[in-house]
Structure 1
Amino acid sequence: MRIEVLVDVKTHLGEGPLWDVDDQRLYWIDSTGMDVFRCTADGREIRAWDLPQPVGSMAIRKSGGAVLSLQRGFHFLDFKTGEVDLISDPEPEKPDNRLNDGKVDKRGRFIVGAMDTKETGKNAGLYRLDPDLSVHKLDDGIIVSNGPCWSPNGDTFYFADSWSGEIWAYNYNLETGAVSNRRVFAKLDTSSGGAADGSTVDAEGYVWNAQVFDGKIVRYAPDGTVDRVIEMPVKKVTSVMFGGENLDILYVTSMAKAHLPHFPADPVERGALFAVHDLGVRGLPETRFGG
């Protein structure tokens, strides 16, 4: 195994690495720096787009451009013009909340959870943006939404409220986009202050989770047991995604500027985008948003 710094733009809150198999490009975001970044698999041809609000996640659209979860709702981003247009705000009555982590299911729906920016109240929801641009609430009572992803066949949905100390699994209905039967998939060892952040699922059905503030990437077997732990060079790792031509490089984002004072400090690599090579595992291609 080999860990390298792929791109070092010192993202305030790097998140959401996303490998687009069609264009063979890697995207990632700076949530509080309000940027979308793009590069090649080996970190070249860096491009950035400025955004008008903090951003939680993004997905590539089938029709071109991207769909974003911004502080005040779902938006489209036009890569050619840089224009950002509102689709819908699912929580207009909650000014302290913003949309956070999200991914697209196998039928092209964008599933995004919200978060309380003060990280104290269980007042955020989990939402589904359909290709027809309708919005549906799937769950609620969440503090900080993170880590949405699916089993390889799409019938199990994984998700976490970072401050619960757990990663959850739901039954997922691919025909309707509905969730049911929420249960505990894995319990984190939070003794050193770690919390569940971004996740992805590999081709073998194992869940990879970035454990922020603890500097670990943990691979969980389908039964929820710990299979492998990778110690990263920084503590504030935030999310993971497999990419590259063979989907065998694990890309890892990190945080340069902690938004709460008690979070751990990091060395000079803080805020970098990392690439982890030679894991002997491949990921799954991400679906584009259907709208």
Structure 2
Amino acid sequence: MTLKYHNPECVLDVRATLGEGPVWIGSESALYFVDILGKKVHRFVPDTAEHKSWDAPARVGFMLPVEDGKFLAGLADGLHIFDPHTGEFAPHAQIEPEHPGNRLNDGCVDGLGRLWFGTMDDGEENETGSIYRVIHKRDGLEITKHDEGYVVSNGPAVSPNGDVLYVCDSGEQKVYAFDLDKAGNLSNERLFAQFSDGYPDGVVTDSEGNVWCGTWGGGRVSRFRPDGTPLPSIEMPATNVTKIAFGGDDLKTVFVTTARKGLDAETLAKEPQAGSIFAFRTDVAGNPQHAFRLEK
């Protein structure tokens, strides 16, 4: 697969309704991602074009690797364990039963093996979403709520040295930054970026600490330096750009998930591959995908 610098091309014509949550698993040279509304989990091996998918029992917002080779999946009602060898989902922890209209949305694992994820109002109207941290203990999961008041929380992402957490408030077109200490506490919330064209969706950081943000309704990947200074955006052949993952042997291949949700027939005629996976090369490597740590 030969890709050009910042010139995206479709590498998997999957046309997901709401493609999201790409993660690169280096040991498999494979990209995992989800179709939230399609209730699907996908695995794609770029070198061989091998593509496999599994049905999920509900809307699945993210899939993140666990140290034992399985995945933590964020479904509508909470955390599940997904085993790619069997294709089975096992309930693990219920989240927010007091908000039946909420679902889990996006997540990440930091360098210490802690899971960060957000919830959102599935109707995208009420400020019932929150940001959580999850740590595995021998006697179960330690689940801590850290922030609330989101309609649609997105991201989150952690800086390479682990001292900043980025979170999107998508409907408000804002990206926030928090200081993150070694104990997993958040402080000093501040506005990192304000969007005016499109809505910030999934965010990740590269090895230099730059922030890359899928831009829903904006047709681009937006980029910022660690101090919030904008970098040139990368235009995409799809209006709804959701998230990126750095992959390949050198972590300089950028894979981009997109969505067909909300696009009218005229737009879809112009963007027939909306919802597919696009890729391009870049000059700064991403960060390795961390796995959720299991306390021994």
Q: Does 1:9 align with 2:14?
A: yes
Matched, 1:237 2:241: yes
Aligned identity (percent) is 39
Measured after TM superposition, the shift of residue 41 of structure 1 is 3.2
TM-score, normalising length: structure 2 = 0.92
Distance in 2 (alpha carbons) for counterparts of 1:50 and 1:145: 25
Segments of 5+ residues of structure 1 without an aligned counterpart are: none
CA distance in 2, matches of 1:285, 1:103: 12
Q: Does 1:250 align with 2:258?
A: no
CA–CA distance in 2 between the matches of 1:172 and 1:43?
39
Does 2:158 align with 1:158?
no
Q: Per-residue CA shift, 1:198-227, capped at 9, x if unaligned?
A: 111111110010111110111101110111
Superposition deviation, residue 264 in structure 1: 6.3
Look up the equivalent residue of 1:243 and give its one-letter code. G
Structure 1 residue 144 and structure 2 residue 162: aligned? Answer: no
Paired residue for 1:81?
A: 86
In 1, distance between residues paired with 2:19 and 2:69? 23
Gaps of 5+ in 2: none
Which of 122, 131, 134 is residue 127 of structure 2 equivalent to? 122
Aligned counterparts of 1:290 and 1:57: Cα–Cα separation in 2: 17
Structure 1 residue 189 displacement after superposition: 2.2
Alpha-carbon offset, residue 236 of structure 1 = 0.8
Q: How many residues align?
A: 285
- Contact kept, 8 Å, 1:199 with 1:241, in 2: the verdict is no
Shift of 1:256: 1.8
Q: Does 1:95 align with 2:75?
A: no
SS at match of 2:160: coil
- What secondary structure sits across from 1:223 in the alignment? coil
1:118-167: per-residue Cα shift (whole Å, max 9, x none)?
A: 11111111111212222111111111111211111010111111012211
Whole-Å separation in 2 of the counterparts to 1:107 and 1:167:
23
- Show the counterpart of 1:290: 293
Q: Provide the rounded CA distance (Å) in 2 between the counterparts of 1:125 and 1:206.
A: 25
Task: Report the equivalent of 2:226.
Answer: 222
Distance 2:267 2:211 in 1: 25
Q: How far is 1:22 from its partner? A: 2.5
Structure 2 residue 190 is matched with structure 1 residue 183: yes
1:201 corresponds to which of 201, 205, 212: 205
Quick one: which amino acid aligns to residue 189 of structure 1?
Answer: S
- Contact 1:156–1:170, Cα closer than 8 Å, also in 2: yes
SS in 1 for 2:50: coil
**Secondary structure, counterpart of 2:171 in structure 1:** helix
Q: What is the distance in 1 between the residues matched to 2:247 and 2:181?
A: 27
> Over aligned residue pairs, what C-alpha RMSD do you find?
1.7
Residues 244-269 of structure 1, C-alpha deviation per residue, up to 9 Å, x if partnerless? 111001110011232x87x9656101
- Is the aligned partner of 1:59 residue 2:64? yes
**Residues 50-79 of structure 1 deviation map (CA, whole Å, 9 limit, x = unaligned):** 110001111011112100110000110011
TM-score for the superposition, normalised by structure 1: 0.94
1:228, distance to aligned residue in structure 2 (A): 1.3
Aligned-partner Cα distance in 1 for 2:217–2:48: 25
Conserved in 2, the CA contact under 8 Å of 1:236 and 1:264? no
